[in-house]
Structure 1
Amino acid sequence: MAFFASVHTFVAISDLHPNLARPNVMGIVIGKTDVKGFPDRKNIGSERHTISFTIRDSPSQFINITSWGREEYIRELSDSFRIGDCIVIENPLVQTKDAEKEERFNPSTPSYYKLLVSENHSTVRTCSQLEVDTRLLSLLHLPIKDTQDFYLLGDIVANGQSLDGKVINILAAVRSVGEPKYFTTADRRKGQRCEVKLFDETVSYFLMVCWDNESIQFAHTWIPKETVLFVADVRVNFDNFRNCMIATVISKTIITVNPDTKEANLLSRFAREYAETAGTDEEEDQSRETVNLRSIVDVYTVQQLKEKALKNVGKSDPIYGITYAYITTLNIDSGISKIIRTRCARCKFPIDDMSGTCANSFCNDNMDNATVTSFDLLVDLSDHTGTLQSCNLTGNVAEKSLGCSVEDFFSLTEAQKTAIKWQLLLERCKIYLKLFLSPNARNGLRVNVLSCKIAEPEEASQVFAIMTMH
């Protein structure tokens, strides 16, 4: 039975058949194409316009709907709802579908039928909040395919050209959503494209391209490094220009956002952890400037830094400051893989532990074994006003703070590692910081340590005395 309250008012998709008189159908929109125009064979020189969309009213039932008509009517219809809206279709024509023909360019549906909406006989309207059953909304998080029927991004990269042109399912997290790029074709048709970067536990960078306005608008509702997607019936191709596999959203594709499945929940957890540790984009890694520490003179308590960050909401400029604080968490005696990261020497992406190759599928040096290793630590900084959690202590800054290079660290005994740890742990340090708001970081704040040294006792006491007076 369909998930809506007025079961006597609406016909469930599972109960539709061509002999029904004036049926009304309610469902959630799970897929939608752009408006398209075609030459009208009956009226030479003019065009007919069409739109297709897919609605769902239960876990097992969804159906395709098509409408043909005047450009003004079709565009008005298209603008009246979006993917994720609950709609009512009054008096559609129920037709038996030709599955082979129908599903070549449209989503594959379990229904034997399709619906036809006409300007003169049918009505499509968006439901009011009172009409919508919350169980209907939950269908937005249920993939249309078997939740275990998907490819890992690493499998797509590994299989390479053997999957070229195939239509498959993908489960992946969103790394970033690019801005739409507009163009005009040789025959003067306007177009657009949008690149979405995906990642999962196996690959940190995989490109999915959206070509139509509907999928581009949908993509811009996704939150990088938080949103997980189950992408059903997406086409994958080997891109000769980039020399790698990419995915393309097509008219058959149905994208489920943040699926309520075990596999998606595990990936979501991984995405959050990735964002907190190695989740910066390659552009950010490459653009990190060398900060002149002498230019940083403002001293703050931990609480003052947090308050200043909150006042910085809506601004892109980072906050620089000095704090005299204790390192209260420093897990350098954890496993090597948790504190030292191996990256590609060319693009700085992580090296896959299993294959020993760069995890960036766009990197031209995938077969090159040149790598760099660096410390990648998360530390907690505390003073009498509070704690900054999971601050990034990485690269050369970490080496200088610990007094030990990465190469030397590999040869240390556990006792020696513990000794280095206690040189800093619970000691008051003078710490230079860079802070910026990040929705993907823990507590919404990303903190990079620019310098960390044991504070001179007299200097620390003077600063502490001044700050307690204020």
Structure 2
Amino acid sequence: MANSFALWTFTALSDLRPNMANLKIIGMVIGKTDVKGFPDRKNIGSERYTFNFTIRDSPNHFVNVSSWGSEDYIRSLSDSFRVGECVRIENPLIQRKEIEREEKFSPATPSNFKLLLSENHSMVKVCSSYEVDTKLLSLMHLPVKESRDYYSLADIVANGHSLDGRIINVLAAVRSVGEPKHFTTSDRRKGQRCEVKLFDEIESSFTMTCWDNESILLAQRWIPQETVIFASDVRINFNKFQNCMTATVISKTIITTNPETPEANILLNYIRENKETNVDDEIDNYMKESINLNTIVNVYTVEKLKLKALKNEGKTDPVYGILYAYISTLNIDDETTKVVRNRCSSCGYIVNEASNTCTICNKNAPRFKSASLSFDMLVDLTDHTGTLHSCSLTGSVAEKTLGYTVNEFLAMTSEQKTTLKWQFLLERSKIYLKLILSHRARGGLKVSILSCKLADPTEACRNLSGQRHF
């Protein structure tokens, strides 16, 4: 009864009309921007402050709310609630919105109106639990766009440059949430950024960057490999430094966490079913059982190795083989590419950078002893028949391949790293591989390098001529 009575006293967003007075509105906060200051034209030398947020009270109705005022008022109001909370707004001003101008920077809404808050007349309060109807709570898991209106990460990667600068919707799972990085610009403005790694059934890692505090706070609540997000109106760009497509959260973006849609449920079930497999694969890649390389005798070309793997479809046993090929991609001198990571000394799993804990061992705290630096890189292998992309080169195998320990490598200059890289890019190597079919890996193949050494030219020529060739 309390809920029904409370809701009965509020005006629905669908009923908003100009000149309505003494309004009381209730809704869930589904989006929010940071506080910004602007020069006050009426009072030269002073600033006015503002921030915007979006509230929703039904599946089909949500509106933007703007507030202007003194710095103390605006910051206090902004700090009083977060995305995901239910708020009660009293005495807002209803204003018809200028769609073309305002929706360029604000979330697109189905309403023809927006709400303005006055420092002297309006009020915003976070609702207590008894005021919040379960129907309102469920709105937090409903995307503001049609559930099928999105690009998969594979679609974005495949379309590449054609999507550069576009604003689109994305459905993906959260692989990791980075630690917020704070910085100061050349004009002494303070800023922050946070990188979120996303993945889905096909793409294993895709970067989404948050630049505002509100989206960073939201991202910090996400549980890696357990959370799915529907991000409406994110900007897609081609990152020239990383040579890949990335997403950026902007002022128009509204992110729905764990959306209750058929498409999201399929993805959520996928990550739940594969979570333990993901962990086991990663630990297995790092802490490999000792494999006697002398037992691996079959020599392949890239083309024949792919065919062998396809014939192995449906089997769990990996394919082992030898490849005489060039390392065609080895980004050890690219400052934007991370080739060294912290791994748990107990289980070998990558330590979460944001929390500085092992997500496996923290379930049993005494197991988590320490973390150690380890090589963790992806390389491409190429011969005359094709290329194997994103092959895993990690741990002691990487150290033996490069001829340097992690600490020795970190002490090298960029020029020394570049020189080291070209020693491999120009020479054919003898590479022992472990390969399994995986629809999560690029090209459907998960390739781990067991050993990589510069090849003896005579041996390579003899084997590539057909002897002991499978």
Please state which band the TM-score falls in when normalised by the shorter chain.
0.5 to 0.7
**Post-superposition CA distance 1:403-456 (Å, at most 9, x none):** xxxxxxxx9xxxxxxxxxxxxxxxxxxxxxxxxxxxxxxxxxxxxxxxxxxxxx
Q: d(CA) in 2 for partners of 1:20 and 1:66?
A: 17
1:287 Cα shift? 6.1
Quickly say closer, same or farther: Cα 1:268–1:358, change in 2 above 3 A. farther
Kindly provide the amino acid, as one letter, of the partner of residue 277 in structure 2.
T
Kindly state the Cα deviation for residue 395 of structure 1 after the two structures are TM-superposed: 9.6
- For 2:74, the equivalent position in structure 1 comes to 74
Return the alpha-carbon distance in structure 2 between the equivalents of residues 111 and 11 of structure 1. 14
String of CA shifts for 1:284-324, please: whole Å, max 9, x gaps. Answer: 78865999xxxx9xxxxxxxxxxxx8983476338xxxxxx
Does structure 2 retain, via aligned residues, the 8 Å contact 1:35–1:49?
yes
Query: Identity percentage over the alignment?
Result: 59
Q: CA RMSD in A?
A: 3.6
1:312 to 364, 369, 377: 364
Unpaired runs of 5+ residues, structure 2, are 291-345, 347-360, 371-375, 381-385, 392-420, 425-430, 439-447, 451-469
CA–CA separation in structure 2 for the residues paired with 1:371 and 1:111? 61
Give the 3 Å change call, closer, same or farther, for CA 144–310 of structure 1 in structure 2. closer
Alignment CA distance shift 1:184-1:91 (3 Å): same
Cα distance in 2 for residues equivalent to 1:356 and 1:145: 39
Where 1:312 maps in the other structure, the secondary structure is helix
**Quick one: which amino acid aligns to residue 198 of structure 2?**
L
Query: How far apart are 1:278 and its partner, in Å?
Result: 2.4
**CA displacement at 1:82 relative to structure 2:** 0.3
Number of matched pairs = 329
Call closer, same or farther: CA 1:74–1:288 in 2, change over 3 Å.
farther
2:434 maps to 373
Give the SS at the match of 1:278: helix
Q: Report the equivalent of 1:248.
A: 248
1:259 alignment partner, SS class: coil
Q: CA 1:174 to 1:358, structure 2 compared with 1: closer, same or farther past 3 Å?
A: farther
Distance 2:85 2:92 in 1: 18
**Is 1:55–1:64's contact at 8 Å kept on the other side of the alignment?**
yes
2:130 is matched with which residue? 130
SS at match of 1:347: strand
Q: What secondary structure, in the 3-state scheme, does the structure 2 residue paired with 1:215 have?
A: helix
Q: Who is 1:102 aligned against?
A: 102
Normalised by the length of structure 1, the TM-score is 0.64
Post-superposition offset of 1:279: 4.5
Match of 1:347 in 2: 378
Measure, in 2, the Cα distance between the counterparts of 1:371 and 1:166: 42
> Which residue of structure 2 lines up, in the alignment, with residue 157 of structure 1?
157
C-alpha distance in 2 between matches for 1:311 and 1:135: 35
Whole-Å separation in 1 of the counterparts to 2:74 and 2:142: 29
* 1:159-216 Cα distance to aligned partner (Å, 9 max, x none): 1110000000000000000000111000000000000000001201000000000000
Q: Give the secondary structure class of the aligned counterpart of 2:22.
A: coil
Q: Which runs of 5+ in 1 are unaligned?
A: 297-308, 319-344, 350-354, 378-393, 397-410, 412-470
Q: Equivalents in 2 of 1:164, 1:138: separation in Å? A: 34
Question: How far is 1:47 from its partner?
Answer: 0.8
Q: Indicate how the Cα distance of structure 1 residues 75 and 281 shifts in structure 2: closer, same or farther if over 3 A, else same.
A: farther
- Structure 2 vs 1, CA of residues 206 and 372 (structure 1 numbering), >3 Å: closer, same or farther? farther
**Do the aligned partners of 1:197 and 1:208 also contact (CA within 8 Å) in 2?**
yes
Q: Partner of 2:147 in structure 1? A: 147
Residues 175 and 205, structure 2, Cα contact 8 Å, conserved in 1: yes
CA–CA separation in structure 1 for the residues paired with 2:114 and 2:390: 43
Q: TM (normalized to structure 2)?
A: 0.64
Identify the residue that residue 220 of structure 2 maps to in structure 1.
220
**Shift in CA distance, 356/131, structure 1 to aligned 2, threshold 3 Å:** farther
- 1:269 deviates by 1.2
**Does the Cα contact within 8 Å between 2:432 and 2:449 map onto a contact in 1?**
no
C-alpha distance after superposition, 1:71-104 (max 9, x if no partner) = 0000000110000000000000000000011101
